[in-house]
Amino acid sequence: MAENGETLTAPLIHNQNAILHFIRSVIVSRPASVDPFFVLDIAAVAAMAERWTRNLPAVRPFYAVKCNPDLSLLRELAAYGFGFDCASRSEIEAVLSLDVSPDRIIYANPCKEATHIIYAAGAGVNLTTYDSVFEVEKIQKHHPNCELLIRIKPPDEGDAEFPLAKKFGALPEEVEPLLRAAQAAQLRVIGVAFHIGCGAKRGDAYKAAIKAARQVFDTAARIGMPKLSLLNLGGGYSAKGRLFESVAECITTGLTEFFSDEPEVTVIAEPGWYFAGPVFTLAVNVIGKRQRGNRREYWMNDGIYGSVKLYDEKIVPAPFACASNPENPTCHGEKTYESTLFGPTCDAADTVLTDHRLPELQVNDWLVFPRTGGYTKSVACNFNGFNVNSILTYVTDSTQAKTN
Protein backbone atom coordinates (compact mmCIF):
# COMPACT_ATOMS: atom_id res chain seq x y z
CA MET A 1 0.00 0.00 0.00
CA ALA A 2 1.30 3.43 -0.91
CA GLU A 3 2.25 6.09 1.60
CA ASN A 4 -0.05 9.02 2.32
CA GLY A 5 0.02 11.61 -0.47
CA GLU A 6 1.19 9.20 -3.17
CA THR A 7 -0.85 9.09 -6.35
CA LEU A 8 -2.88 5.90 -6.63
CA THR A 9 -4.86 4.79 -9.63
CA ALA A 10 -7.68 2.37 -10.44
CA PRO A 11 -9.84 1.63 -13.48
CA LEU A 12 -11.85 4.58 -14.77
CA ILE A 13 -15.46 4.28 -15.88
CA HIS A 14 -17.04 7.19 -17.72
CA ASN A 15 -20.64 8.09 -16.93
CA GLN A 16 -22.55 10.42 -14.65
CA ASN A 17 -21.59 8.31 -11.65
CA ALA A 18 -17.89 8.15 -12.53
CA ILE A 19 -16.68 8.96 -9.02
CA LEU A 20 -18.91 6.33 -7.40
CA HIS A 21 -17.72 3.77 -9.91
CA PHE A 22 -14.16 4.71 -9.15
CA ILE A 23 -14.79 4.42 -5.41
CA ARG A 24 -16.26 0.97 -5.94
CA SER A 25 -13.19 -0.06 -7.93
CA VAL A 26 -10.99 1.04 -5.03
CA ILE A 27 -13.07 -0.92 -2.53
CA VAL A 28 -12.96 -4.04 -4.71
CA SER A 29 -9.21 -3.68 -5.25
CA ARG A 30 -8.49 -3.73 -1.51
CA PRO A 31 -10.99 -6.21 0.01
CA ALA A 32 -9.02 -6.57 3.24
CA SER A 33 -9.20 -2.84 4.02
CA VAL A 34 -12.10 -0.77 5.29
CA ASP A 35 -10.00 2.32 5.98
CA PRO A 36 -11.55 5.63 4.87
CA PHE A 37 -10.05 7.27 1.80
CA PHE A 38 -10.28 10.38 -0.35
CA VAL A 39 -10.73 10.60 -4.09
CA LEU A 40 -9.29 13.62 -5.91
CA ASP A 41 -10.90 14.32 -9.28
CA ILE A 42 -8.35 16.09 -11.47
CA ALA A 43 -11.11 16.90 -13.97
CA ALA A 44 -12.75 18.97 -11.22
CA VAL A 45 -9.43 20.73 -10.55
CA ALA A 46 -9.22 21.61 -14.24
CA ALA A 47 -12.79 22.90 -14.20
CA MET A 48 -12.13 25.13 -11.19
CA ALA A 49 -8.93 26.47 -12.76
CA GLU A 50 -10.77 27.28 -15.99
CA ARG A 51 -13.58 28.95 -14.06
CA TRP A 52 -11.08 31.13 -12.20
CA THR A 53 -9.23 32.15 -15.37
CA ARG A 54 -12.47 32.92 -17.18
CA ASN A 55 -13.78 35.19 -14.42
CA LEU A 56 -10.55 36.69 -13.05
CA PRO A 57 -8.02 36.53 -15.89
CA ALA A 58 -5.87 39.30 -14.43
CA VAL A 59 -5.62 37.74 -10.95
CA ARG A 60 -3.03 35.00 -10.43
CA PRO A 61 -3.99 32.38 -7.82
CA PHE A 62 -1.60 31.53 -4.98
CA TYR A 63 -3.28 28.45 -3.49
CA ALA A 64 -3.64 28.56 0.32
CA VAL A 65 -1.88 25.35 1.35
CA LYS A 66 -3.44 25.42 4.82
CA CYS A 67 -6.83 24.56 3.33
CA ASN A 68 -5.68 21.14 2.15
CA PRO A 69 -1.98 20.23 1.91
CA ASP A 70 -2.57 16.99 0.01
CA LEU A 71 0.46 16.55 -2.27
CA SER A 72 -1.66 15.23 -5.13
CA LEU A 73 -3.64 18.49 -5.20
CA LEU A 74 -0.51 20.65 -4.80
CA ARG A 75 1.05 18.80 -7.72
CA GLU A 76 -1.96 19.45 -9.95
CA LEU A 77 -2.08 23.14 -9.09
CA ALA A 78 1.67 23.49 -9.60
CA ALA A 79 1.23 22.12 -13.12
CA TYR A 80 -1.07 25.06 -13.90
CA GLY A 81 1.68 27.47 -12.95
CA PHE A 82 -0.14 28.73 -9.88
CA GLY A 83 1.65 30.13 -6.87
CA PHE A 84 1.27 29.02 -3.26
CA ASP A 85 0.36 30.77 -0.02
CA CYS A 86 2.31 29.10 2.78
CA ALA A 87 2.03 29.85 6.50
CA SER A 88 4.85 27.75 7.99
CA ARG A 89 8.11 25.99 7.31
CA SER A 90 6.40 22.63 6.74
CA GLU A 91 4.06 24.10 4.14
CA ILE A 92 6.97 25.73 2.34
CA GLU A 93 8.86 22.41 2.43
CA ALA A 94 5.86 20.57 0.95
CA VAL A 95 5.62 22.96 -1.99
CA LEU A 96 9.37 23.02 -2.62
CA SER A 97 9.39 19.19 -2.64
CA LEU A 98 7.42 19.41 -5.88
CA ASP A 99 10.22 21.38 -7.57
CA VAL A 100 8.21 24.60 -7.40
CA SER A 101 10.42 27.67 -7.63
CA PRO A 102 10.55 29.66 -4.35
CA ASP A 103 9.49 32.80 -6.23
CA ARG A 104 6.07 31.14 -6.61
CA ILE A 105 5.61 31.13 -2.82
CA ILE A 106 4.32 33.91 -0.60
CA TYR A 107 4.94 33.42 3.13
CA ALA A 108 1.52 34.82 3.95
CA ASN A 109 1.53 34.62 7.71
CA PRO A 110 1.64 38.08 9.35
CA CYS A 111 3.21 36.64 12.54
CA LYS A 112 6.02 34.18 11.95
CA GLU A 113 8.28 32.15 14.21
CA ALA A 114 11.89 33.32 13.94
CA THR A 115 13.23 29.89 13.00
CA HIS A 116 10.69 29.67 10.19
CA ILE A 117 11.79 33.07 8.88
CA ILE A 118 15.40 31.87 8.88
CA TYR A 119 14.35 28.76 6.92
CA ALA A 120 12.44 30.87 4.39
CA ALA A 121 15.51 33.05 3.90
CA GLY A 122 17.69 30.02 3.22
CA ALA A 123 15.10 28.53 0.87
CA GLY A 124 14.84 31.71 -1.19
CA VAL A 125 11.26 32.56 -0.23
CA ASN A 126 11.52 36.34 -0.36
CA LEU A 127 7.96 37.66 0.00
CA THR A 128 5.94 37.86 3.20
CA THR A 129 3.20 39.81 4.97
CA TYR A 130 3.29 41.90 8.15
CA ASP A 131 0.94 43.99 10.28
CA SER A 132 3.04 45.01 13.31
CA VAL A 133 6.32 46.76 14.07
CA PHE A 134 7.48 43.70 16.01
CA GLU A 135 7.27 41.64 12.81
CA VAL A 136 9.38 44.27 11.06
CA GLU A 137 12.06 43.78 13.72
CA LYS A 138 12.08 40.00 13.25
CA ILE A 139 12.27 40.23 9.48
CA GLN A 140 15.02 42.84 9.59
CA LYS A 141 17.07 40.58 11.86
CA HIS A 142 16.50 37.22 10.17
CA HIS A 143 15.63 37.96 6.52
CA PRO A 144 16.62 41.52 5.58
CA ASN A 145 16.33 40.77 1.85
CA CYS A 146 12.66 39.84 2.15
CA GLU A 147 10.07 41.99 0.41
CA LEU A 148 6.93 42.89 2.34
CA LEU A 149 3.21 43.25 1.85
CA ILE A 150 1.47 45.27 4.52
CA ARG A 151 -1.68 43.42 5.51
CA ILE A 152 -4.64 45.66 6.28
CA LYS A 153 -7.89 44.97 8.03
CA PRO A 154 -10.72 45.00 5.45
CA PRO A 155 -13.42 47.59 6.19
CA ASP A 156 -16.13 44.98 5.51
CA GLU A 157 -15.86 41.20 5.96
CA GLY A 158 -18.73 40.33 3.64
CA ASP A 159 -20.62 38.22 6.21
CA ALA A 160 -17.77 35.71 6.14
CA GLU A 161 -18.44 32.36 7.81
CA PHE A 162 -14.98 32.49 9.39
CA PRO A 163 -13.86 36.13 9.78
CA LEU A 164 -10.18 36.86 10.37
CA ALA A 165 -9.99 40.59 11.08
CA LYS A 166 -9.96 40.19 14.88
CA LYS A 167 -6.58 38.51 14.56
CA PHE A 168 -4.97 40.00 11.46
CA GLY A 169 -4.68 43.28 9.62
CA ALA A 170 -3.47 46.81 10.30
CA LEU A 171 -6.05 49.44 11.25
CA PRO A 172 -6.22 52.56 9.06
CA GLU A 173 -4.42 54.68 11.66
CA GLU A 174 -1.64 52.07 11.89
CA VAL A 175 -0.82 51.98 8.18
CA GLU A 176 1.49 54.97 7.93
CA PRO A 177 3.49 54.10 11.09
CA LEU A 178 3.94 50.55 9.79
CA LEU A 179 5.11 51.77 6.41
CA ARG A 180 7.56 54.14 8.08
CA ALA A 181 8.81 51.34 10.36
CA ALA A 182 9.67 49.20 7.34
CA GLN A 183 11.24 52.23 5.69
CA ALA A 184 13.42 52.88 8.74
CA ALA A 185 14.46 49.22 8.82
CA GLN A 186 15.47 49.47 5.15
CA LEU A 187 12.98 46.76 4.22
CA ARG A 188 11.18 47.09 0.91
CA VAL A 189 7.39 47.18 1.03
CA ILE A 190 6.14 46.26 -2.44
CA GLY A 191 2.40 46.07 -1.92
CA VAL A 192 -0.74 45.53 0.11
CA ALA A 193 -2.62 42.42 1.23
CA PHE A 194 -6.00 41.80 2.81
CA HIS A 195 -8.24 38.83 3.55
CA ILE A 196 -12.01 39.18 3.74
CA GLY A 197 -12.40 35.93 5.67
CA CYS A 198 -13.33 32.40 4.68
CA GLY A 199 -16.70 31.92 3.03
CA ALA A 200 -17.50 35.56 2.33
CA LYS A 201 -21.02 35.95 0.98
CA ARG A 202 -20.88 39.47 -0.49
CA GLY A 203 -18.66 40.63 -3.31
CA ASP A 204 -18.98 44.30 -2.39
CA ALA A 205 -16.69 43.62 0.58
CA TYR A 206 -13.86 42.94 -1.87
CA LYS A 207 -14.52 46.21 -3.64
CA ALA A 208 -14.38 48.09 -0.32
CA ALA A 209 -11.10 46.39 0.54
CA ILE A 210 -9.63 47.23 -2.86
CA LYS A 211 -10.52 50.88 -2.23
CA ALA A 212 -8.81 50.72 1.18
CA ALA A 213 -5.74 49.15 -0.44
CA ARG A 214 -5.54 51.96 -2.95
CA GLN A 215 -5.45 54.43 -0.08
CA VAL A 216 -2.40 52.57 1.25
CA PHE A 217 -0.73 52.83 -2.17
CA ASP A 218 -1.36 56.58 -2.06
CA THR A 219 -0.02 56.87 1.51
CA ALA A 220 3.19 55.07 0.52
CA ALA A 221 3.66 57.47 -2.40
CA ARG A 222 2.99 60.49 -0.18
CA ILE A 223 5.71 59.54 2.31
CA GLY A 224 8.28 58.97 -0.43
CA MET A 225 8.39 55.18 -0.57
CA PRO A 226 9.23 53.38 -3.83
CA LYS A 227 6.14 52.78 -5.93
CA LEU A 228 4.07 49.83 -4.71
CA SER A 229 3.53 47.16 -7.34
CA LEU A 230 1.61 44.21 -5.87
CA LEU A 231 -1.98 43.85 -4.63
CA ASN A 232 -2.95 40.64 -2.81
CA LEU A 233 -6.73 40.09 -2.66
CA GLY A 234 -6.42 37.28 -0.11
CA GLY A 235 -8.84 34.35 0.11
CA GLY A 236 -12.41 33.62 1.08
CA TYR A 237 -13.71 32.59 -2.34
CA SER A 238 -16.67 30.25 -2.46
CA ALA A 239 -17.39 27.81 -5.27
CA LYS A 240 -21.10 27.62 -4.42
CA GLY A 241 -23.57 28.41 -7.18
CA ARG A 242 -22.96 31.76 -8.85
CA LEU A 243 -21.39 33.37 -5.78
CA PHE A 244 -17.90 33.20 -7.22
CA GLU A 245 -19.01 34.91 -10.41
CA SER A 246 -20.70 37.65 -8.38
CA VAL A 247 -17.54 38.19 -6.31
CA ALA A 248 -15.40 38.23 -9.45
CA GLU A 249 -17.59 40.94 -10.98
CA CYS A 250 -17.17 43.11 -7.87
CA ILE A 251 -13.39 42.56 -7.89
CA THR A 252 -13.17 43.48 -11.56
CA THR A 253 -15.25 46.61 -10.94
CA GLY A 254 -13.10 47.56 -7.94
CA LEU A 255 -9.83 47.08 -9.82
CA THR A 256 -11.15 49.16 -12.70
CA GLU A 257 -12.38 51.92 -10.43
CA PHE A 258 -9.39 52.18 -8.11
CA PHE A 259 -6.40 50.82 -10.06
CA SER A 260 -7.08 51.62 -13.72
CA ASP A 261 -4.32 54.26 -13.53
CA GLU A 262 -1.87 51.66 -12.18
CA PRO A 263 -1.53 49.21 -15.12
CA GLU A 264 1.80 47.87 -13.86
CA VAL A 265 0.35 46.63 -10.56
CA THR A 266 0.36 42.83 -10.31
CA VAL A 267 -2.77 41.35 -8.71
CA ILE A 268 -2.77 38.00 -6.93
CA ALA A 269 -5.16 36.15 -4.62
CA GLU A 270 -5.01 33.28 -2.13
CA PRO A 271 -7.92 30.90 -2.89
CA GLY A 272 -8.02 27.76 -0.76
CA TRP A 273 -11.51 26.38 -0.29
CA TYR A 274 -12.41 27.39 -3.85
CA PHE A 275 -9.95 24.86 -5.28
CA ALA A 276 -9.87 22.19 -2.56
CA GLY A 277 -13.50 21.97 -1.47
CA PRO A 278 -15.25 20.75 -4.65
CA VAL A 279 -12.57 18.36 -5.92
CA PHE A 280 -12.36 15.78 -3.12
CA THR A 281 -14.80 13.03 -2.18
CA LEU A 282 -14.48 11.13 1.10
CA ALA A 283 -15.51 7.48 1.50
CA VAL A 284 -16.01 6.11 5.03
CA ASN A 285 -16.92 2.65 6.22
CA VAL A 286 -19.87 1.73 8.45
CA ILE A 287 -18.27 -0.03 11.42
CA GLY A 288 -21.27 -0.29 13.74
CA LYS A 289 -25.05 -0.10 13.86
CA ARG A 290 -27.88 0.21 16.34
CA GLN A 291 -31.64 0.10 15.71
CA ARG A 292 -34.15 1.77 18.01
CA GLY A 293 -37.66 1.46 16.66
CA ASN A 294 -37.74 3.02 13.21
CA ARG A 295 -34.52 4.96 13.83
CA ARG A 296 -31.12 3.76 12.65
CA GLU A 297 -27.81 4.75 14.22
CA TYR A 298 -24.54 4.14 12.42
CA TRP A 299 -20.91 4.39 13.53
CA MET A 300 -18.35 5.35 10.89
CA ASN A 301 -14.57 5.00 10.96
CA ASP A 302 -14.09 8.73 10.51
CA GLY A 303 -15.89 11.65 12.14
CA ILE A 304 -15.67 15.26 13.22
CA TYR A 305 -12.22 14.78 14.79
CA GLY A 306 -11.08 13.47 11.44
CA SER A 307 -12.15 14.55 7.98
CA VAL A 308 -15.96 14.47 8.18
CA LYS A 309 -16.54 18.20 8.64
CA LEU A 310 -19.68 19.39 6.88
CA TYR A 311 -19.07 23.14 6.70
CA ASP A 312 -21.55 23.30 3.83
CA GLU A 313 -25.00 22.41 5.14
CA LYS A 314 -25.94 21.08 1.70
CA ILE A 315 -23.30 18.35 1.79
CA VAL A 316 -25.03 15.08 2.62
CA PRO A 317 -23.62 11.57 2.36
CA ALA A 318 -24.62 9.16 -0.37
CA PRO A 319 -25.17 5.55 0.77
CA PHE A 320 -22.95 3.01 -0.92
CA ALA A 321 -24.10 -0.45 0.12
CA CYS A 322 -21.38 -2.43 -1.64
CA ALA A 323 -21.40 -5.18 0.99
CA SER A 324 -25.10 -5.68 1.73
CA ASN A 325 -26.68 -4.63 -1.58
CA PRO A 326 -24.11 -5.12 -4.38
CA GLU A 327 -26.81 -5.21 -7.08
CA ASN A 328 -28.07 -1.78 -6.02
CA PRO A 329 -25.19 -0.17 -4.10
CA THR A 330 -26.64 3.34 -4.31
CA CYS A 331 -29.88 1.99 -2.77
CA HIS A 332 -31.98 3.69 -5.45
CA GLY A 333 -35.67 3.36 -4.61
CA GLU A 334 -35.07 1.72 -1.23
CA LYS A 335 -37.09 2.69 1.84
CA THR A 336 -35.40 5.30 4.04
CA TYR A 337 -35.25 5.77 7.81
CA GLU A 338 -34.35 8.62 10.12
CA SER A 339 -30.69 8.02 10.83
CA THR A 340 -27.88 9.33 13.01
CA LEU A 341 -24.22 9.17 11.99
CA PHE A 342 -21.53 8.93 14.66
CA GLY A 343 -17.77 9.13 14.30
CA PRO A 344 -15.55 6.43 15.83
CA THR A 345 -14.39 8.23 19.00
CA CYS A 346 -15.78 7.93 22.51
CA ASP A 347 -16.92 11.55 22.54
CA ALA A 348 -20.68 11.98 22.18
CA ALA A 349 -20.01 15.25 20.40
CA ASP A 350 -18.54 13.18 17.56
CA THR A 351 -21.94 13.21 15.86
CA VAL A 352 -21.92 14.08 12.18
CA LEU A 353 -25.63 14.10 11.32
CA THR A 354 -28.92 13.52 13.12
CA ASP A 355 -32.41 12.96 11.72
CA HIS A 356 -30.99 12.36 8.27
CA ARG A 357 -32.91 9.94 6.08
CA LEU A 358 -30.92 7.00 4.75
CA PRO A 359 -31.78 3.58 3.37
CA GLU A 360 -31.03 0.52 5.48
CA LEU A 361 -27.28 -0.03 5.72
CA GLN A 362 -25.23 -2.79 7.28
CA VAL A 363 -21.80 -3.03 8.84
CA ASN A 364 -19.09 -2.88 6.11
CA ASP A 365 -21.24 -0.75 3.82
CA TRP A 366 -19.94 2.71 2.92
CA LEU A 367 -21.00 6.34 3.01
CA VAL A 368 -19.67 8.81 0.46
CA PHE A 369 -19.31 12.52 1.26
CA PRO A 370 -18.81 14.81 -1.77
CA ARG A 371 -17.06 18.21 -1.78
CA THR A 372 -15.13 17.50 1.41
CA GLY A 373 -11.69 18.86 0.52
CA GLY A 374 -11.79 22.19 2.35
CA TYR A 375 -10.34 22.29 5.88
CA THR A 376 -11.10 18.63 6.48
CA LYS A 377 -7.86 16.69 6.18
CA SER A 378 -5.78 19.69 7.24
CA VAL A 379 -7.50 20.21 10.60
CA ALA A 380 -7.98 16.53 11.50
CA CYS A 381 -6.41 15.19 14.67
CA ASN A 382 -5.66 11.76 16.15
CA PHE A 383 -8.01 12.02 19.13
CA ASN A 384 -8.68 8.69 20.84
CA GLY A 385 -5.83 7.15 18.85
CA PHE A 386 -7.56 7.12 15.46
CA ASN A 387 -4.77 7.88 12.99
CA VAL A 388 -6.67 10.00 10.47
CA ASN A 389 -3.43 11.43 9.10
CA SER A 390 -2.83 8.13 7.33
CA ILE A 391 -5.92 8.45 5.12
CA LEU A 392 -4.92 7.84 1.51
CA THR A 393 -5.85 9.91 -1.51
CA TYR A 394 -6.68 8.16 -4.77
CA VAL A 395 -6.55 10.20 -7.95
CA THR A 396 -8.89 9.88 -10.90
CA ASP A 397 -10.10 11.85 -13.91
CA SER A 398 -13.89 11.62 -14.12
CA THR A 399 -13.91 12.69 -17.76
CA GLN A 400 -11.78 9.81 -18.99
CA ALA A 401 -13.58 6.78 -20.36
CA LYS A 402 -12.26 3.26 -20.65
CA THR A 403 -13.52 1.75 -23.86
CA ASN A 404 -14.86 -1.79 -23.60
DSSP, residue by residue, 118-181? HHHHHHT--EEEE-SHHHHHHHHHH-TT-EEEEEB--S--TT-SB--TTTS-B-HHHHHHHHHH
Separation in Å, CA 120 to CA 150, 213, 237: 18, 26, 27
- In angstroms, the CA 173 to CA 179 distance is 11
Residues 214/258, Cβ–Cβ less than 8 Å: yes
346 is catalytic: yes
Residues 350/314, Cβ–Cβ less than 8 Å: no
Of the candidates 322, 331, 346, 381, the residue annotated as catalytic is: 346
Measure the CA angle with vertex 221, ends 216 and 226; round to 5°: 110
- In angstroms, the CA 349 to CA 356 distance is 17
CB-based contacts of 326: which residues, under 8 Å, 6+ apart?
Answer: none
Residues 98/73, Cβ–Cβ less than 8 Å: no
Q: Across the chain, which distance is largest between two alpha carbons, in Å?
A: 76
- In angstroms, the CA 86 to CA 79 distance is 17
Active site residues: 346
